[in-house]
Chain A
């Protein structure tokens, strides 16, 4: 790893060799291990997505059989959800930056941190095994809905076990972060002097901890059902498939906040840095993170408005769903208010931040269309839902992830990338993304159902536009990655603080030394975003 711009005391220089990485308990190395693994799976998921778009460029069979298509979209979902978007920000940037940002040298349980990385690897191996053994990958969709998931001959058992194991990794990371935040903050760092990214991770960690076990046990029940042939969720044998849906969404709805809350935390870091002023409404952002985590537990029923639920229950779930929009909107208002009268420095990470706000806004507002009872009946299980979900998850979380990559790249690797190329890549990604997903919202309203490899001729044009968008997006991705790889090897030396940020990670050398700081970090009494601190 000598290609990093490493000064003698950088953590890259501390020990060498592959073993010093895969058995390292250093949070920065574990963060980088996650980075490479998760990014690799992201690319696999992207390729599967591109294949699906290619199949959908014309009605009828284009490049694959219906059964293959079912397996491709399931694999796309399983990889993107369980291997990419749930761990991506906590496991990579949480691991790398949480201890630095709260002014300590590691997480509370470094060995458990390493264990959670290995559990992730084992889970990933299980997910990949579904490709090569038996009748191929699952064809149920990533939701594994019973009773079909109990009856299909494909590798549901392995896929479900993979999700179960990955959940374990997620639990241990969350547990580690909660204890780290409680116990290891720098002596003068009170709760409300903590950076907002740390707060976002704190809220996320509680969801990881308290929601994941439910899906764990539910998935184990699916395995048991397949092995022993019990009718736990099979109506033919006395079971209740709706119960499975409840149990699944009791986890999987809070899980979407595991996916988006850390992204919001990153946005809350980048906006003050590039507006050169303290964040507007620090406490409101903190409380809104906790509120989203809390309310998020009680909205799972909105996935099941059309699958059989009493009227009052639907009204309550719909009302609670609307409530989540309030803290989300508070955040957006605060971000925009921070920019107001700031000295805005338009750099690459800020572009991703702007794209996040724009796309998250569309994703969030279309979410309300799904959350309202009358409209949901119309758009349920259509491409509108696919469009909504990708606007929040890809347009939101993944764009925040790209932004964070560009924001913290100089800190992690000590080198700077070519900003002009990075901005070009961003432009391609932004344009490609919107061309890819906006037609889905339209075609969904027109009534095109999701998860079919075929469609009626009148949906042809939007699907062609969407597929063309996917190519632009892919071009943007390739350019972005190439730019960062070149920067990793040949970029200019970045120095401690290329952006003029004020959180603690900018007080230490780039890349950070083994123990994170070369001098005791200084904190401002005015909170984490004090731009007068010199």
Chain B
């Protein structure tokens, strides 16, 4: 009886389990950023004026463009899943390429945004940064830390979707078996929703 397989074996395919696992992982990601949001809130309350002054330095246009890009990419990844469910593999792939393109645009935009600040010496350890008052320093540090961690998640999400693309091409993901695609979409929505909170906190609140 060595090879008896139970009906509830952990080695069988279980889409519900895969999705549940992804949701649980997303909870941990939310709490990871939650700690940062807490720190941000407390220092904002402690240094309202410095945070206001520093936030005026950020480029609202670039932030808005990135918000639009990221929101659109959430749409494309959701459409890609629907396309796969309906059996249109070609369209699903195209929509995933668009999602990855949006991720790249977001990161390039972010690069120019950071670069402009670093050119002005606004980075921990640089001259201009050192002349700022403590509250403004904290604001910029949190800005780099939180948007940096978010950018890292954009990269991870894009790589994840890249793997999904490869799996679709190898026909490991098919209209009958697309849980990995759906999970990559869930992850991408998380990346999106965190940005939806980062954007007003840093760019819009005055």
A interface list, Cβ under 8 A from B: 8-9, 27, 99, 103-110, 112, 171, 175-176, 178-180, 182-187, 209-214, 216-218, 221, 224, 228-232, 237-240, 243, 247, 250, 513-520
A247–B35 CB distance below 8 A: yes
The 6 A-B residue pairs whose C-beta atoms are closest, nearest first, are: A238-B134, A106-B10, A217-B35, A228-B124, A213-B31, A213-B32
Contact with A along B1-21 (1 / 0, CB 8 A): 111111111110010110011
Chain B: residues with CB nearer than 8 A to chain A? 1-11, 14, 16-17, 20-21, 24-25, 27-29, 31-36, 38-39, 42-43, 46-47, 124-125, 133-135, 137-138, 141, 145
Q: Are A209 and B27 in contact (CB under 8 A)?
A: yes
Interchain CA distance A243-B125 in the complex, whole Å: 23
Cβ 8 A contact of A209, one of B2, B3, B4, B28: B28
A216 touching B32 by the CB < 8 A rule?
yes
Partner of A515, one of B5, B16, B25, B39: B5
**B7, A187: Cβ atoms under 8 Å?**
yes
Q: A185 contacts which of B8, B28, B39, B124 (Cβ < 8 Å)?
A: B8
CB distance from A267 to the nearest CB of B (A): 27
Nearest Cβ in chain B — how far from A188, in angstroms? 10
A/B interface sample: 13 pairs, CB < 8 A = A103-B8, A106-B9, A106-B10, A183-B16, A186-B8, A210-B31, A213-B31, A217-B33, A231-B134, A515-B6, A518-B2, A519-B4, A520-B4
Q: Are A107 and B10 in contact, CB atoms less than 8 angstroms apart? A: yes
Contact A230–B141 (Cβ < 8 Å): yes
- Knowing A105-B9, A106-B11, the reply to whether A514 touches B2 (Cβ < 8 A) is yes
Q: Beyond A110-B10, A175-B24, A513-B2: 17 further Cβ-contacts under 8 Å?
A: A8-B2, A99-B10, A105-B9, A108-B10, A108-B14, A182-B20, A183-B8, A183-B17, A213-B29, A214-B31, A231-B137, A232-B138, A238-B133, A238-B135, A239-B134, A515-B4, A520-B4
Task: Kindly list chain B residues whose C-beta atoms are within 8 Å of the C-beta of A179.
Answer: 17, 20-21, 24
> Complex Cα distance A231/B135, Å?
10
Which residue of the partner chain, among A103, A175, A214, contacts B6 with CB atoms under 8 Å? A103
Inter-chain contact A518/B4, CB cutoff 8 Å:
yes
- Asked, given contacts A213-B28, A247-B38, whether A104 binds B10 with beta carbons under 8 Å apart, the answer is yes
Residues of A within 8 A of B21 (CB): 108-109, 112, 175-176, 179
Closest B residue, CB atoms, query A27: B10
Q: Hey, which chain B residues are within 8 Å of A517, CB to CB?
A: 4, 6
A180: B residues at CB distance < 8 A: 10
Closest B residue to A515 by beta carbon equals: B4
Cβ contacts under 8 Å, A184 to chain B: 8-10, 17
Given the known interface contacts A183-B20, A247-B38, A514-B2, the answer about A212 and B137 at a Cβ–Cβ threshold of 8 Å is no
* Known contacts A183-B14, A213-B28, A515 near B3 by CB under 8 Å: yes
Q: A9 is contacted by which of B2, B10, B35 (Cβ under 8 Å)?
A: B2
Q: How many A-B pairs with Cβ below 8 Å? A: 140
B1 touches which one: A213, A214, A519 (CB < 8 A)?
A519
Q: Which residues of A contact B38 (CB under 8 A)?
A: 247
Report A-chain residues with C-beta under 8 Å of the C-beta of B20. 178-179, 182-183
Please judge, given known A-B contacts A209-B28, A213-B28, whether A110 and B8 are in contact too, CB under 8 Å.
no
Q: Cβ of B1 and Cβ of A518 under 8 Å apart?
A: yes
Beta-carbon nearest neighbor of A13 in chain B: B2
- In the complex, the chain B residue whose C-beta lies closest to that of A238 is B134
Query: Given known contacts A171-B28, A518-B4, is B39 in contact with A247 (CB within 8 Å)?
Result: yes
Please indicate which of the listed interface residues B6, B17, B133 has the most CB atoms of chain A within 10 Å of its own CB: B6
Task: Report yes or no: A230 in contact with B39, Cβ–Cβ below 8 A.
Answer: no
Hey, which chain A residues are within 8 Å of B36, CB to CB? 217
Question: What are the residues of chain B within 8 A of A515 when measuring CB–CB?
Answer: 2-6, 9
CA distance A218 to B38 in the complex (A): 11
Q: Does the CB pair B125–A213 fall under 8 Å?
A: no
The residue of chain A having its C-beta at the shortest distance from the C-beta of B20 within the complex is A179
Cα A213 to Cα B26 in complex, Å, equals: 11
Select which of A214, A231, A240 is within 8 A of B42 by beta carbon: A240
Residue numbers in A under 8 Å from B141 (CB-CB) = 224, 228, 230, 232
Residue of B nearest to A236 (CB): B134
Known: A184-B10, A517-B6. A209 touches B24 (CB 8 A): yes
B10 to A239, Cβ gap below 8 A? no
| Chain A residue contacts of B6, Cβ below 8 A | 103-105, 186, 515-517, 520
A175 nearest CB neighbor, chain B only: B24
User: Contacts of A175 on B, CB cut-off 8 Å?
Assistant: 21, 24-25, 28
Residue of A nearest to B42 (CB): A243
Chain A: minimal CB distance from B18 (Å): 8
User: Do the beta carbons of B35 and A213 come within 8 Å of each other?
Assistant: yes
CA distance A104 to B5 in the complex (A): 9
Q: How far is the CA of A221 from the CA of B29 in the complex (A)?
A: 16
Bound form: Cα–Cα A520–B28 in Å: 36
Contacts of A109 in B (CB 8 A): 17, 21
Q: How far is the CA of A446 from the CA of B5 in the complex (A)?
A: 62
* Pairwise interchain contact B9-A104, C-beta atoms closer than 8 A: yes
Given the complex of chains A and B, what is the CA–CA distance between A27 and B10 in angstroms? 10
A9 to B2, CA, bound (A): 6
The docked-state distance in angstroms from the alpha carbon of A182 to that of B138 is: 43
Residue from B1, B4, B32 with most neighbouring chain A CB atoms (10 Å): B4
**Chain A proximity of B186: nearest CB distance (Å):** 14
Nearest B-chain residue to A108, judged by Cβ? B17
A518–B17 CA distance with the chains assembled, in angstroms:
25
Q: Check if A214 sits within 8 Å of B10, measured CB to CB.
A: no
Are B47 and A218 in touch, CB under 8 angstroms?
A: no
- Complex CA gap A178/B17 in Å reads 10
Q: How far, in whole Å, are A106 and B5 apart by their CA atoms in the complex?
A: 11
Q: Give CA–CA (A250, B36) in the complex, Å.
A: 13
Q: In the complex, what residue of chain A is closest to B9 when comparing beta carbons?
A: A105
| A212 CA / B27 CA spacing, docked (Å) | 11
Contacts of B14 in A (CB 8 A): 108, 183
**Are A230 and B137 touching (Cβ within 8 A)?**
yes
A176–chain B nearest beta-carbon distance, Å: 8
Bound complex: CA A221 to CA B138 (Å): 12
What's the Cα separation between A513 and B33 when bound, in Å? 43
Q: Is there an interface contact between B10 and A238, defined as CB atoms closer than 8 Å? A: no
Give the chain A neighbours of B47 by CB distance below 8 A: 238
Q: In the complex, which residues of chain B have a beta carbon less than 8 angstroms from the beta carbon of A183?
A: 8, 14, 16-17, 20
Measured between beta carbons, the chain B residues less than 8 angstroms from A516 are 6
How many Å lie between the Cα of A183 and that of B8 in the bound state? Answer: 8
Contact of B28 among A8, A103, A104, A212 (CB under 8 A): A212
